[in-house]
Chains A and B, each alone.
Chain A
Amino acid sequence: MAAEVLNPHLSWNLGRDVSEVLEYHFMVNALLAGSIVAIMAGLVGWLMVLRRDTFAGHTLSMMAFPGASSAALLGIPAAWGYFVFCGAGALVIGRLPRARERFPGEQSAAIGAVQALALAVGFLFVSLYGGVLGDLENLLFGTFLGVSDSQVLVLLAVAAGTLAALCVLARPLLFASVDAGVAGARGVPVRGLASAFLLLLGLAVAATSQITGVLLVFALLVTPAATAQAITARPLVSLLLTVALGLLVVWLGLGIAYFSVYPAGFFITTISFATYVFVRVLMGVLGGRSRRHPELPAPAAPPRGVIA
């Protein structure tokens, strides 16, 4: 059995391959953790793409580096480091000078400064740890080997909390995301929601980076959402598509990685990106035939006289 794990063969029988994968507890855990993460990252990522908070998400993913290295330094599970640093990073970014619509660059610069500091602190922790951080590669590119039962439970709890929060915040958050001025006038706490969302984003990033690695979180956070949003502008359909794509990408990625010597993060990212490119090309082709297509410039509005 051990030999099989080390040297699995991909047969032509898909059913047999799947059942072989599911025979191993570590693969079941990996698939469970991956599925939880795909759902959570998909929903939070969908809002992140809509809110144009991608740079904040990127910075939060960098927070996982000082998180993991400090955890190694302190000898505690890396997951704790991830969650603490990503959560703290979200709170810091949320406190940054308000991003004004007219000066979007202002906040980007401040977030960039936070990101540089996070990496520097992470580097310091690695130095203090005394040389090479054992699983630096896992940190950067993720691992699906050895996801423990307790890790799955922690991910499940974090995801459940995040989803519950999203359910409560959903409508005002969507309103504030696309239409802050009117939402504010209607009494929606735009600023508070922005901070709350960053915190949820931090949690989603921390969870995702445990599967895909720090560098590849966007494979689950951005790409499925961007793909779904390219397909449809209907919010409900778009959200469901995002989750479906995320799950598909994770299952395929983990499945292929099991039969391969290369890291799962690579496959997840590649499949995710390939789907995105495929959809954009397909929509481009379809859009060439249909004037309703999003990627084409909107047809010139027919001259409207005085509306009667």
Chain B
Amino acid sequence: MTARREVSSAGRSSPAAWQTASGPATPGPAIELTGAAAQIGGRTIWQDVSVRVGHGAFVALLGANGSGKSTLLKAALGALPLSAGSATVLGQAPGAANRSIGYLPQRRSFDQGTRLRGRDIVRLGLDGDRWGLPLPLAWGGPGARRRAAHDRVDEVIEMVGAGSYADRPIGESSGGEQQRLLIAQALVRRPELLLLDEPLDSLDLPNQAAVAALVAEICRGAGVAVLLVAHDVNPLLPYIDSVIYLAGGRAVEGPVEQVITDATLTRLYGLPVEVLRASDGRLVVVGQPDPPAHHHDRHAHDGHPAAAPGNGG
């Protein structure tokens, strides 16, 4: 699974803007979990999970609602301590390297009345966690630092192709536009690892394809490792190096063609599961206990036993 994508094989130029600040500080895997288990409120979400996200790799994290996908991201961020096993993230304990991680939480969107520009949202990703100087003074102040910050914000906005709407109030932007701006926000500090929680959720199909392609470009161009939570692997198929599939409290990891198969998923779910391959290469998983057809309702009823058996993806 550490099938690290060669930058040259991507066949693209990699603009200097895409490079991480200090290059790869950690030659090892971006994330490594060994025999890991997580509990929420005494209930085990998953256990005996041993997975790796290689340096610079693009990995999809798949699984049904409540299988613990978001929990795995939280464990990687150090927000949820493991109940067993061990983990390293960018060569350190989870939480220790969060400054080098770009995190995009699961969310719906900014509501229409949010009267800040997309550019401001991106900017908050750069220095929004700093105490002290009020925003207006910091922005209006003199100095190279301010210009550097401004340039960096411009740079990532261009990188995600959001230049034409970054100066509009973010609430007015469409879901796909907001998602691009949020990816820019996650990128603005030149992270070595991106944790993206369902960035394709609630996007229409063309936007899903476009955002997946954008993430792949960032991954290759800047050598940023990406762990992307998704419900549907299909928009990601052209780009991912491997998948981690969570089900039944366990995880399987490997290339798509080895993981998303009748045998592997049947074993994982403990139920007969069939994987169908459409003529265009799309994969359809049939027979899994919690079909993702209702995933738009999931947000409204998250935590509700009928809609989501667990803690919501």
Measuring CB to CB, which residues of chain A are less than 8 angstroms from any residue of chain B? 50, 102, 166-172, 174-175, 178-179, 181-183, 185-188, 229-230, 233-236, 238-240, 292, 294, 297-298, 300-301, 303-307
- Within the assembled complex, what's the spacing in Å between the Cα atoms of A115 and B121? 34
- Within the assembled complex, what's the spacing in Å between the Cα atoms of A50 and B300? 23
- Within the assembled complex, what's the spacing in Å between the Cα atoms of A303 and B177? 11
**In the complex the two chains form, is A178's CB within 8 Å of B117's CB?**
no
Q: Give the residue of A50, A172, A182, A240 whose beta carbon is less than 8 angstroms from that of B116.
A: A50
**In the complex the two chains form, is B105's CB within 8 Å of A181's CB?**
yes
Question: 24 A–B contact pairs at CB < 8 A?
Answer: A50-B116, A102-B299, A170-B133, A171-B130, A171-B135, A172-B128, A179-B185, A181-B106, A181-B107, A182-B105, A182-B125, A183-B128, A185-B79, A230-B115, A233-B115, A236-B139, A294-B169, A298-B165, A298-B174, A301-B173, A303-B206, A306-B209, A306-B210, A307-B210
**In the complex the two chains form, is A229's CB within 8 Å of B129's CB?**
no
- Within the assembled complex, what's the spacing in Å between the Cα atoms of A172 and B124? 8
**In the complex the two chains form, is A175's CB within 8 Å of B128's CB?**
yes
Residue B138 lies at the interface, judged by CB distance under 8 Å to chain A: yes
With A172-B131, A182-B125 as known contacts, state yes or no: A234 contacts B104, CB within 8 Å: no
With A179-B121, A235-B136, A292-B168 as known contacts, state yes or no: A171 contacts B131, CB within 8 Å: yes
Q: Give the residue of A175, A185, A233, A307 whose beta carbon is less than 8 angstroms from that of B117.
A: A233
**In the complex the two chains form, is B124's CB within 8 Å of A239's CB?**
no
Contacts of A236 in B (CB 8 A): 135-136, 139-140
Shortest CB-to-CB span from A95 to chain B, Å, is: 22
**In the complex the two chains form, is A307's CB within 8 Å of B214's CB?**
yes
Against A, the Cβ 8 Å flags (1 = close, 0 = not) of B41-52 are 000000000000
Against A, the Cβ 8 Å flags (1 = close, 0 = not) of B93-134 are 000001000011111001000111100110011011111111
Q: Give the residue of A168, A182, A297, A298 whose beta carbon is less than 8 angstroms from that of B185.
A: A182
Contacts of A174 in B (CB 8 A): 124, 128, 135
Residue B302 lies at the interface, judged by CB distance under 8 Å to chain A: yes
- Within the assembled complex, what's the spacing in Å between the Cα atoms of A239 and B133? 15
Residue of A nearest to B131 (CB): A168
Contacts of A175 in B (CB 8 A): 124, 128-129
Residues facing A in B57-109 (CB within 8 A) are: 77, 79, 98, 103-107
Size of chain B's interface in residues, with CB distance under 8 A?
54
Residue of A nearest to B106 (CB): A181
With A174-B128, A185-B105 as known contacts, state yes or no: A235 contacts B120, CB within 8 Å: yes
**In the complex the two chains form, is A187's CB within 8 Å of B129's CB?**
yes
Against A, the Cβ 8 Å flags (1 = close, 0 = not) of B165-200 are 100110011101100001001100000000000000
Contacts of B103 in A (CB 8 A): 182, 185-186
Residue B207 lies at the interface, judged by CB distance under 8 Å to chain A: yes
- Within the assembled complex, what's the spacing in Å between the Cα atoms of A292 and B98? 37
Contacts of B124 in A (CB 8 A): 171, 174-175, 178-179, 182-183
- Within the assembled complex, what's the spacing in Å between the Cα atoms of A166 and B132? 9
- Within the assembled complex, what's the spacing in Å between the Cα atoms of A7 and B119? 54
Contacts of B133 in A (CB 8 A): 167, 170-171
Give 3 closest A-B pairs by Cβ, nearest first.
A175-B128, A181-B105, A170-B134
Shortest CB-to-CB span from A183 to chain B, Å, is: 7
- Within the assembled complex, what's the spacing in Å between the Cα atoms of A292 and B121? 19
Shortest CB-to-CB span from B135 to chain A, Å, is: 5
Contacts of B160 in A (CB 8 A): 307
Contacts of A186 in B (CB 8 A): 98, 103, 128-129
